[in-house]
Amino acid sequence: MLSLSNKRVLLGITGGIAAYKCAELTRLLIKAGAEVRVAMTRSACEFITPLTLQALSGNRVHLDLLDPEAEAAMGHIELARWADLVLIAPATANSIARIAHGEADDILTTLVLATPAPIAVAPAMNQGMWADAQTQSNIAALQQRGYTLIGPDSGEQACGDVGLGRMSQPSDIVAACAQLFDTGFLAGRHVAITGGPTREAIDPVRYISNHSSGKMAYALAEEAAAAGARVTLISGPVSLSTPERVQRINVVSAQQMLEATLTAAEEADVFIGVAAVADYRPLEVAAEKIKKNDDEMSLTLVKNPDIIWEVSRLEKRPELVVGFAAETENVVANGQQKLASKKLDLLFANEATKTFNSDDVAITVIDANGTTALSAANKHVVARQMLQLIAARLS
């Protein structure tokens, strides 16, 4: 599957008539899973507006090398480092010549010199300009430096000539860009994960919760993103940083987690319920802090929603619904019961007292065919093994 999942594409647009195709090119890059940022030369703005590209990409368009607002943090260098791929489309004869000779007098040529990312060039020019010996020399110089050449195509041109020089179609450019990357075993998939504890309020300062650190869910989210998946992480309160290229939705209570999860799960290929959701919540939440007046205090608790069961019965159910069972006894038996009662496709069980706040974990894999043990290892190592098992079950 050709995919640009989680890839960061910096699209450089130069001043040619084919610039109008960059609206569709941006749309298709995003559809393939990429995050797109755009840098335009001033002449490119004569053919397509920055506002159009900003609306399509969802990011501000970079026009000036010396942008006072961005340069406070050396913005053009940060942008060069941000990219996984720099794509110049259309690449005019002039822009190719300037890049080939190492010029750095505008935002785009400076980014080209500064980036460590691979660079792809999609030429667009008159057939005579393309055939000119100097242009061919410039193209050869770029290819010798490792640049990828995409096109050009042959056909009728804006000036009326016919021949090589047309910019390749946006769909062909996106396919060529995707082939530059190892897509990963979850490329193009959407994985939704819940993680961490929930907190159920007693009064404005007290709550019911548990010892979950969220480390297992965050390891799974990071490894899924590394494997090419689009990842939505619905997280209870934890002191962990959001993994790169992961969309994080913060929640507190079980009810909040349920609402966020159902929305994400309807679009997901895989749902993994790792969160340690509080089983019960107080029936009533005091409006003010409860004072310590009596020797005893009673709370009436009601059952919280069963999030993973709700996901498994969705009309638009993910292809795979995967659960976790953190047990203190009878790990396998309790895991098998949970697999059946919640209608799960796969379940990972572990002994909770050995894994809360730990960086290591040992897992028992449970499905309809039996059980398999994954030896104790760092949670990131085990997370990769889990995701490989999940990927193997996807159609």
- The CATH number for 266's domain is 3.40.50.10300
DSSP assignment of 202-224 equals SSSS-EE-----SHHHHHHHHHH
**Closest Cα partner for 236 from 258, 219, 264, 262?**
258
Residues 117-155 have pLDDT tens digits of 999 999 999 999 999 999 999 999 999 999 999 999 998
Looking at the fold, whether 168 and 121 belong to one and the same domain comes out as: yes
pLDDT for res 358: 74
pLDDT of 355: 61
Domain boundary at 119, 153, 178, which? 178
Element containing residue 131 per DSSP (H, E): helix 127-131
> Cα separation of 352 and 338, whole Å?
15
* Average of per-residue pLDDT across 255-268: 96
- Other CB atoms within a 10 A radius of the CB of residue 281 amount to 23
Task: For residue 308, give the nearest of 280, 283, 275 by alpha carbon.
Answer: 275
Mean pLDDT for the stretch of residues 351-374: 83
Q: What mean pLDDT, rounded, does the chain reach?
A: 91
Q: Name every residue whose Cβ is closer than 8 Å to that of residue 67 and which is 6 or more positions away in sequence.
A: 75, 76
Q: Which of the listed residues 126, 154, 178 is the one where a domain comes to its end?
A: 178
Number of domains in the chain: 2
Q: Are 347 and 367 in contact (CB under 8 A)?
A: yes
Of 128, 135, 229, 136, the C-alpha closest to 187 is 229
- Mean pLDDT, range 58-81, rounded to an integer: 75
CA distance 310 to 260: 12
Residue 356: pLDDT over 90 = no
* 110 assigned to some structural domain: yes
Residues 224 and 164 in one domain: no
- The pLDDT tens digits for 313-344 are 999 999 999 999 888 888 899 999 999 999 99
With respect to residue 289, please indicate whether it lies within any of the assigned structural domains.
no
Which residues contact residue 97 at a Cβ distance below 8 angstroms, ignoring those fewer than 6 apart? Answer: 134, 135, 138
- Asked whether residue 293 is assigned to any structural domain, the reply reads no
Query: What is the mean pLDDT of the segment spanning 259-268?
Result: 96
Tell me, yes or no, if 22 is annotated catalytic: no
Q: What pLDDT is recorded for position 68?
A: 61
Instruction: Report in angstroms the alpha-carbon separations of 187 from 225, 290, 391.
Output: 9, 51, 10
58: pLDDT confidence band, cut at 50, 70 and 90? very high
Give the CATH number, domain containing residue 21: 3.40.50.1950
Q: What pLDDT does 330 receive?
A: 87
Domain region containing 212: 190-278+299-393
Kindly report, residue by residue over 208-237, the tens digit of the pLDDT.
999 999 999 999 999 999 898 999 999 999
> In this model, does residue 242 exceed pLDDT 70?
yes
Please indicate whether residue 5 or residue 49 has the higher confidence score (pLDDT): 49
Residue 169 and residue 214 in one domain:
no
Q: At 6, give phi and psi (nearest 5°).
A: 70, 10
Q: Of 339 and 354, which is predicted with more confidence?
A: 339
User: Which burial class, exposed, middle or buried, applies to 219 when counting CB atoms under 10 A from its CB (0-12, 13-18, 19+)?
Assistant: buried
Pair (309, 365) in one structural domain: yes
> Tens digit of pLDDT for each residue in 186-195?
988 999 999 9
Alpha carbon distance 68, 343 (integer Å): 56
Non-local CB neighbours of 5 within 8 Å, separated by 6+ positions: 32, 33, 34, 183, 184, 186, 187, 188, 189, 228, 229, 230
The answer on 166 and 238 residing in a single domain is: no
Query: pTM of the prediction?
Result: 0.76
- Look at residue 288 and tell me if it is in a domain: no
Residue 1 lies in a domain: no
Closest residue by Cα to residue 251 from 229, 278, 272: 278
Residues 112 and 226 reside in one and the same domain: no
Is residue 2 scored above 70 in pLDDT? no
Predicted confidence (pLDDT) per residue in 270-306, tens digit: 999 999 999 999 999 999 999 888 788 889 999 999 9
Q: Which of 22, 45, 159, 177 is catalytic?
A: 159
The whole-angstrom separation of Cα 391 and Cα 368 is 17
Residue 11 backbone phi and psi in degrees, to 5 = -95, 115
At residue 67, the pLDDT reads: 66
Q: Which of 178, 203, 228 is the last residue of a domain?
A: 178
Work out the pLDDT band at 1, boundaries 50, 70, 90: very low
Q: Which has more confidence, 80 or 121?
A: 121
Tokens 């590394």 appear where? Answer: 226
